[in-house]
Amino acid sequence: MDANIKSVKSLFSGPISYRIPPFQRPYCWHRQRQWEPLWEDIKRLAERHSAGEITPHFMGAIVLQQLPFSTGEVTKRLVIDGQQRLVTIQLLLKATELEFKTVHEDNRVMRIGGMTQNDSFHSGNDDDNLVKIRQSHKGDRQAFQGIMNQSGNEDGTPLNEAFKFFRQSVERWLQEDPLLRAKNERAERLEAALSEHLKFVSVDLDDGEEPYTIFSTLNERGEILASSDLIRNMLMQQAKVGEDEEKAGKIWGIFERDSWWLGRTPETNLKRTQADRFFDHWLTVHTHGTTRPPDRLTADFNRFLIRACKDMQQGIEGIVGDLNHSAEIYRQIQRAQLADTSSSESLQRMHDLSIGAPMSLMLWLFAHESLSLETKRSVSQIVESYIVRRKLMKWPSNGLVDMFAALVKKMQDVREEDLASTTVEHLFAQSNTLRWPNDEEIEIQLISQPMLKQKAAQKSILVAVERHLRSGKAEPLGDMSQLTLEHVMPKGWKKEDWPLSIHGGIETSRRELVESRNRKIDFIGNLTLITRRLNSSTGNRSWSEKKPELDEHSSLILNKRLLEAAPQVWDERAIETRSRELARIVLVVWPRVDEYRVQLESN
């Protein structure tokens, strides 16, 4: 390993090609965080140069490794670390070159151009060698070459946005003083700042040093790279990808074809991508239910990968194959888009209730192609009942991740015909804050307490109730996403439309009556589903006005039963009565553990 301080001029002068390997991310620098601060630093360097204050600005370290090249061809370096900085400097140089051309600084155009383009007689019949940097990602490569050759269009990629920003910045810099002599002086200062005063620490690796390991070591303690970025590096290392794009695509292509993997998970306490969360669940499954803190994912995955690759029966090819298969299943699980509608509905309700703890178990279950559909459906419905009942009780989710991971471990040695009963017994055996709520607790909760606050969860519960109420003769339910949650008695009720009443001659102050009503408005008995259009038309109107609207425009059985038993006055007593009715339906939709036992024994 050899480290030297190099200027931009020394890095890019002469025939050279910096190759970005497949394990690197696409270009991802942004205006506020990187481009603007860099440009401000360059302007300060230019001002200092005019004042004779030659103070270099260090851009950080880049790590390179020599690659083989043919005689007469460009020298090739593999960029192990620092690709974002090198690419940004190239965009800045090209922007400066074009603006120098605009103001007829021809000699400077030639000098800067020598740092952005290689001569054709060094290309070796490879167009990638004509530019100083060869991108690994085809999209980035096309955009970058289009900028450097001025043959591309402005397609809004980060590369094009960066180039436009720097070109506009250089143009404003040169135009600040309209005098020709001043322009020449400003161009001189800018050229000096860019080519001489921007410095890098260039680390050149020896042939025997492993580039992927160096990359991981440099980045594993930072916060910029996601865990999945480092895991990609590990997989590329074990597969010995080098510059083989086809091989890299087979390993990581599934995570690049869908931007969903880069999105954040709904977990509010963790800033993790969907890809990070998948690898966490996948590793839990393959380490027999072992969990870990988020900051241990990359280290634990690396240890597992090294051990697994020594297994001649599996090796890196087997691991990559399993990862790709499991990733596709996981995406279907998280999107609730499995082929089985019933299982997808169970998963969707877990997502609506913001409970991700069972996803390791769900990944293990649905990734097993040998398991029957009936088994998968039974286990997911049992887990759903446990999750929904706990959510209705508003019990905390602490400990659920480890509890479901323990179930994953238990499932490894269980016959298929016993998987559902094992799930029931494992969940029933939980105690204290992890136990399965019984019927009495659920009923008391629903008739005496407001529903959980999340609207998505409230709607999901009512949709499940509606599905249960519909017989096989009823018309299909249709797209439930078009329905919205409705309070029968609105939160913004007015006493002239919704008069207060006292039942049983109990003397109660008006303040107490108002407080009691406001509390009961969020009871399950006061909630229903209607279309958005009907919701906007009924709004805060009185019960006598709402009833005919619901009767005429709603085909939901939930609303038909509401209207059949509806009194002339919709008040606290009506809410309590319907809450009790819906509580009984909820207990059927999500049965207690004893009913699952009876059902499994009969099966």
The DSSP annotation for 140-157 comes to HHHHHHHHHHT-S-----
CB 529 within 8 A of CB 459: yes
> Who has greater pLDDT, 509 or 141?
141
Residue with tokens 């009984």: 584
Q: For Cα atoms 449, 403, 363, give the angle at the middle one, nearest 5 degrees.
A: 105
> Average of pLDDT values for 21-46?
86
DSSP classification of residue 177? S
3-state SS, residue 478:
coil
Tens digits of per-residue pLDDT, 141-180?
A: 888 988 998 876 667 789 999 999 999 999 998 887 654 4
Can you give the pLDDT at residue 96?
94
Nearest Cα residue to 377 out of 367, 366, 387? 366
**Beta strand 57-67 pairing with 198-205:** parallel
Mark out the alpha helices in 20-79 (DSSP H runs): 36-50
> Who has greater pLDDT, 396 or 601?
396
Can you give the pLDDT at residue 504?
46
- CA separation for the pair 266, 354 (Å, rounded): 7
Residues 6+ apart with CB under 8 A from 566: 547, 574
C-beta contacts of 218-226 below 8 A and 24+ residues apart: 218/63, 218/80, 218/81, 219/81, 220/298, 220/299, 225/25, 226/272, 226/273, 226/275, 226/276
Residue with tokens 């050279």: 16
Token pair listed for 24: 């690197």
Can you give the pLDDT at residue 173?
87
- CA separation for the pair 158, 294 (Å, rounded): 29
- CA separation for the pair 41, 64 (Å, rounded): 25
Token pair listed for 126: 């490879």
CB atoms within 10 A of CB 40: 11
CB 386 within 8 A of CB 424: no
Q: Residue 263 — pLDDT band, cuts 50, 70, 90?
A: confident
Mean pLDDT score of the chain, rounded to an integer?
85
| Per-residue CA distances from 24 to 194, 214, 216, 299, 439 (Å) | 26, 13, 11, 19, 54
Query: How many residues appear in the chain?
Result: 603
Q: Mark residue 22 as left, alpha or beta (left: phi above 0; alpha: psi -120 to 50; beta: remaining).
A: alpha
Residues 6+ apart with CB under 8 A from 1: 203, 204, 205, 206, 209
> Average of pLDDT values for 492-515?
74
Nearest Cα residue to 234 out of 257, 210, 258, 204? 210
Please give the single-letter amino acid code of residue 115. M
pLDDT at 213 over 80: no
pLDDT at 222 over 50: no
User: Which of 149-163, 313-327, 367-381, 467-481 ranks highest by mean pLDDT?
Assistant: 367-381
CA–chain centroid gap for 561, Å, is 41
Nearest Cα residue to 568 out of 591, 542, 588? 542
Q: Which has the minimum average pLDDT: 93-102, 108-117, 199-208, 547-556? A: 199-208
CA–chain centroid gap for 123, Å, is 40
Q: Which has the minimum average pLDDT: 157-171, 213-227, 579-593? A: 213-227
Q: Mark residue 432 as left, alpha or beta (left: phi above 0; alpha: psi -120 to 50; beta: remaining).
A: left
> Average of pLDDT values for 201-215?
67
> Average of pLDDT values for 79-101?
92
pLDDT at 225 over 70: no
**Beta strand 2-7 pairing with 16-19:** unpaired
- CA separation for the pair 328, 582 (Å, rounded): 37
pLDDT at 438 over 80: yes
Q: For Cα atoms 20, 25, 29, give the angle at the middle one, nearest 5 degrees.
A: 100
Exposure of 533 in the CB half-sphere (CA atoms within 13 A): 3
Can you give the pLDDT at residue 503?
56
> Who has greater pLDDT, 33 or 435?
435
Tens digits of per-residue pLDDT, 345-377?
A: 999 999 999 899 999 999 999 999 999 999 999
Q: Which has the minimum average pLDDT: 79-93, 217-231, 242-256, 489-503? A: 217-231
Can you give the pLDDT at residue 60?
82
Buried b (16+ CB within 10 A) or exposed e, 227-250: bbbbbbbbbbbbbebbeeeebbeb
CB 558 within 8 A of CB 458: no
Q: Mark residue 343 as left, alpha or beta (left: phi above 0; alpha: psi -120 to 50; beta: remaining).
A: alpha
Residues 6+ apart with CB under 8 A from 328: 254
CB 202 within 8 A of CB 100: no
> Average of pLDDT values for 41-62?
78
Can you give the pLDDT at residue 332?
96
Can you give the pLDDT at residue 535?
78
Token pair listed for 455: 């609207």
Mark out the alpha helices in 65-122 (DSSP H runs): 83-102, 106-113
Q: For residues 541, 543, 544 and 545, what is the CA-based torsion angle, rounded to 10 degrees?
A: 30
CB 529 within 8 A of CB 486: yes
- CA separation for the pair 133, 89 (Å, rounded): 11
CB atoms within 10 A of CB 200: 21
pLDDT at 52 over 80: no
CB 542 within 8 A of CB 409: no
Give the percent of the chain with pLDDT over 70. Answer: 89
Can you give the pLDDT at residue 180?
46
Residue with tokens 């400066």: 96
CB 314 within 8 A of CB 308: yes
Q: Residue 298 — pLDDT band, cuts 50, 70, 90?
A: confident
Token pair listed for 227: 């865990």
Please give the single-letter amino acid code of residue 172. R
